[in-house]
A and B are shown apart, each in its own frame.
Chain A
């Protein structure tokens, strides 16, 4: 079964607008971590933001914020004030405790294109 679901294969957003990227996850564990990564066309995965399952407040990192709704098993990424350099693939990922905090399980990704 798919552990991470990203339903938006691609999105266009205008420069300076905000964009929300959807991510739902499936786990029976109480302890887990959720991550968002950005992958430009160069291929390198760039860490953006982390949310722990026990964190009561939504994580924020600069223009990135994570809208964490635990009961709905949802961890949407919000990018505020989009810039042309934000054009990339965005991946949601989860790490479950039984994996010894090892492997990340990734979704299929969302391609974001920022237009002037």
Chain B
């Protein structure tokens, strides 16, 4: 079975631009979460979606938005990019919302903002 997939793998943008990152969860997984990992730090939670509804949001500005589609894939959008948005963006999926449901992560999208 395919794992979590993300596209693109790498992306270079300039300040002020916007970016859309895409994620396809493992088949059968209805929950998708997004994390930002700045170099040298642990991942920081951005959003969680379950059954196309936003279930959680981290401490990120409104420039960050996301959505989940009927097929449970998801997009993360970032507007008005800043240099500090340069990071590895990780998508994770899980089957449900039970405590023991571990999250399976994708390979990430490495965003560089110049």
| In-complex Cβ contact of B99 among A95, A103, A107, A109 (8 A) | A95
Query: A57 contacts the other chain (Cβ, under 8 Å)?
Result: no
Q: Of residues B45, B55, B92, B97, which shows the largest number of chain A Cβ atoms within 10 Å of its Cβ?
A: B45
Query: B25 contacts the other chain (Cβ, under 8 Å)?
Result: no
Minimum Cβ distance to chain B for residue A70 (Å): 15
Contacts of A102 in B (CB 8 A): 31, 33, 45, 48, 50, 55-56, 97
CB–CB A100/B43 < 8 A: no
User: Count the A residues whose beta carbon is within 8 Å of the partner chain — how many?
Assistant: 29
User: CA–CA, A42 to B58, complex, Å?
Assistant: 25
Output the nearest chain A residue to B44 by Cβ-Cβ distance.
A106
Output the nearest chain B residue to A103 by Cβ-Cβ distance.
B45
CB–CB A103/B56 < 8 A: yes
CB–CB B101/A101 < 8 A: yes
Q: Of residues B33, B42, B108, B110, which shows the largest number of chain A Cβ atoms within 10 Å of its Cβ?
A: B42
Residues A100 and B56 in contact in the complex (CB < 8 Å), given A105-B45, A107-B42:
yes
CB–CB A45/B98 < 8 A: no
Output the nearest chain B residue to A108 by Cβ-Cβ distance.
B42
Contacts of B104 in A (CB 8 A): 47
Q: What are 6 A-B residue pairs whose CB atoms fall within 8 Å in the complex?
A: A33-B100, A45-B92, A50-B100, A100-B48, A100-B97, A102-B48
Instruction: Tell me the B residues contacting A by CB distance below 8 Å.
Output: 31, 33, 35, 41-45, 48, 50, 55-56, 58, 88, 90, 92, 97-108, 110
CB–CB A91/B56 < 8 A: no
User: CA–CA, A47 to B94, complex, Å?
Assistant: 12
Minimum Cβ distance to chain A for residue B47 (Å): 9
User: CA–CA, A43 to B97, complex, Å?
Assistant: 25
Residues A52 and B100 in contact in the complex (CB < 8 Å), given A99-B56, A103-B56, A107-B42:
yes
Contacts of A109 in B (CB 8 A): 41-42
Query: A35 contacts the other chain (Cβ, under 8 Å)?
Result: yes
Query: 3 closest pairs, A vs B, by CB?
Result: A106-B42, A103-B45, A45-B105
| In-complex Cβ contact of B107 among A4, A43, A107 (8 A) | A43
